[in-house]
Structure 1
Amino acid sequence: MSKFLGYILTPVFYFFFTLSLLIFHPLQWISFRLFGYRAHKVVVDYLNFCLTYCQIFLGSSTTFINKQKLPQGRPVIFIANHQSMYDIPALIWFLRQYHVKFISKIELTKGIPSISYNLKHGGGANINRKDSKQAVSEIIKLGRRMKSNNWSTMIFAEGTRAKDGQMKPFQVGGIATLLKAVPDALIVPVAIENSWKIVQYGPFPLCAGLKLRWTVLSPIITEGLNPEEIALQAEKSIRISLNQMKN
């Protein structure tokens, strides 16, 4: 039934999703050029509000659970599993008070309305995966911006999307590099559920009638832990939340 409904509802979803990108692109340009980072961030936040709730056109629900009392005056490294591109708008919108930045492929900085502009000017790290020196340099620069501005970063530690929803082992590289620049950052895992199902049949039809969920988990006590151990702790917390613990 969800696939059948997808044939009907996917064009409606894509219409409003694309319309949001097109409307907010010039708004981003105006806000950034005339008023700077803070105005631009407000526009980006509301863009992602619209992108998040475009899911209603697929008949899907969005639930974001954050029972953690996280400090706003301290950099945070959020570590999440990754299931689809639809993971991202909700993370930006619901965690907007933490100024969450992303590590993105440099190829995404061109050709996508709104998204490419934000990647260029929003303060994240745009890396060339074929150039390890450039990638490390950009992540370190991001860490410095986190430290000086009390920003946060979201890392999808699997390194790629889990297209079937089953988590892959977490990689430590990005976490370790950021911690060199921001050693006192708070480490907070985030569990993402069911967004892989949106695209389980590909870009058309999208799956309808899903219960999408994002859950912010308890911060990791990092005292005495090296980056590898921190990554394992984050992975374990998310696996427990998703009932994907390995035997």
Structure 2
Amino acid sequence: MNKLFGYIFSPLHYLAFGLFLVIFHPIQWLSLKLGGYSAHKRSVDILNFFLVTTYYLMGSRMRFSNKVGLPAGRSIIFIANHQSMYDISPMIWHLRAHHPKFISKIELTRGIPSVSFNLKHGGAANIDRSDPKQSIAEILKLAKRMRENNWSAAIFPEGTRSKDGKMKPFAAGGVITLLKKVPDALVVPVAIKGSWKLTRFGVFPLSFGEKMNWTVLQPIEPAGKTPEDVINEAERAIKEAIAD
């Protein structure tokens, strides 16, 4: 039934999702030109609210749980597992108070309405995986922006999506660089569960009626710990959360 209803409702979801991306592209441009960063960020937040609503067109049941009371005015490094492209919009919307900037592959900065514009102008680190020097330079720029603005970073250390929900080993490089340059940043694991099921049949049809959860886990204070220890602790916490 998930697949059958997916054939019916996937076109509606993609139509709504695409329309929001197209509509908000000029809105982002105008917001940035007329109101600067604050107005642009507000437009991106609202865009992602609407993108999240399109998940309901697929009968998705979603829950974003954040019960830990994250501090305001402090940079945070959000570390999450990665199951599908649908992981991102709920994080942008629900964590919007903390200004999360994603570490993304540079290919996404080209040709995608709204998404590419935001990645270019919203403060993200857009890395070329084939060019380690460029990748490090981008992450260093992000760290500088975090220090100057109390922004946060969001990173998927697996490096690629897990198509079956099973976590891949974390690659520590990007997180280590951020921790070294923003040593007072709080590290917050985020466990994502079930979003891979939405795309388990591929991009079409999407799977109808899936249950998805985002859970903000207990923060990790990096003081007195090596970056490797912090990453390992975050990885263990996420593994335990998605295994429940």
Shorter chain as denominator, the TM-score bin is over 0.9
Answering whether residue 206 of structure 2 is matched by residue 206 of structure 1, we say yes
Q: Secondary structure at the match of 1:148?
A: helix
What is the DSSP-based 3-state SS (H/G/I as helix, E as strand, rest coil) of the residue aligned with 2:240?
Answer: helix
Distance in 1 (alpha carbons) for counterparts of 2:74 and 2:127: 25
Matched residue, 2:133: 133
TM-score, length of structure 2 as denominator length? 0.98
Partner of 1:17 in structure 2? 17
Cα shift at 1:39:
0.1
Distance (whole Å) between structure 2 residues aligned to residue 98 and residue 132 of structure 1: 28
Matched residues in 2 for 1:69 and 1:136: separation?
Answer: 31
Report the residue type matching 1:12 in the other structure.
L
Q: 5 Å matches for 1:92-131?
A: 92-131=92-131
Report the alpha carbon displacement of residue 212 of structure 1 after superposing the two structures with TM: 1.1
- Give the CA deviation at 1:221: 3.0
Following superposition, the deviation at residue 125 of structure 1 comes to 0.5
2:215 maps to 215
Residue 223 (structure 1) shift: 2.8
Q: Aligned partners of 1:62, 1:94: CA distance in 2, in Å?
A: 12
After TM superposition, the structure 1 = structure 2 runs for residues 28-67 of structure 1, keeping only pairs within 5 Å, are 28-67=28-67
CA RMSD of aligned residues (A): 0.9
1: CA distance between counterparts of 2:146 and 2:55? 31
Per-residue deviation at 1:38?
Answer: 0.3
For structure 2, the residue ranges without an aligned partner over 5 or more in a row are none
Secondary structure of 1:223 counterpart: coil
1:186 positional shift: 0.1
Unaligned runs of 5+ in 1: none
Tell me, yes or no, if the aligned pair for 2:183 and 2:222 is still in contact at 8 Å: no
1:26 is aligned to 2:40: no
Is residue 53–residue 62 contact of structure 1 (8 Å, CA) maintained in 2?
no
Matched letter for residue 40 of structure 1: H
CA deviation digits over 1:29-64, x for unaligned, max 9? 000011100000000001000111101110112210
SS at match of 1:36: helix
Question: Residue 224 of structure 1: CA displacement?
Answer: 2.3
> How many Å separate the matches in 2 of 1:64 and 1:218?
15
CA contact (8 A) 2:184 2:223 kept: no
- Residues 77 and 155 in structure 1, CA contact (< 8 A), matched pair in contact too: yes
String of CA shifts for 1:202-225, please: whole Å, max 9, x gaps: 010000101111000000132322
Task: Give distance in 2, aligned partners of 1:149 and 1:223.
Answer: 21
- The answer on whether the counterparts of 1:21 and 1:47 sit within 8 Å (CA) in structure 2 is yes
In the superposition, the TM-score normalised over structure 1's length comes to 0.97
Query: Distance in 1 between the 2:230 and 2:3 partners?
Result: 39
Sequence identity of aligned pairs in percent? Answer: 58
Name the aligned partner's letter for residue 239 of structure 2.
Answer: R
CA shift, 1:181, in A, is: 1.4
Deviation at 1:165, TM superposition (A): 0.3
* Deviation of 1:72 (Å): 1.2
Question: Distance in 2 between the 1:190 and 1:184 partners?
Answer: 19
- The one-letter code sitting in structure 1 at the alignment partner of 2:105 is K
Instruction: Tell me which amino acid in the other structure corresponds to 1:97.
Output: A
Matched, 1:191 2:196: no
Distance 1:38 1:221 in 2: 29
2: distance between equivalents of 1:164 and 1:218? 25
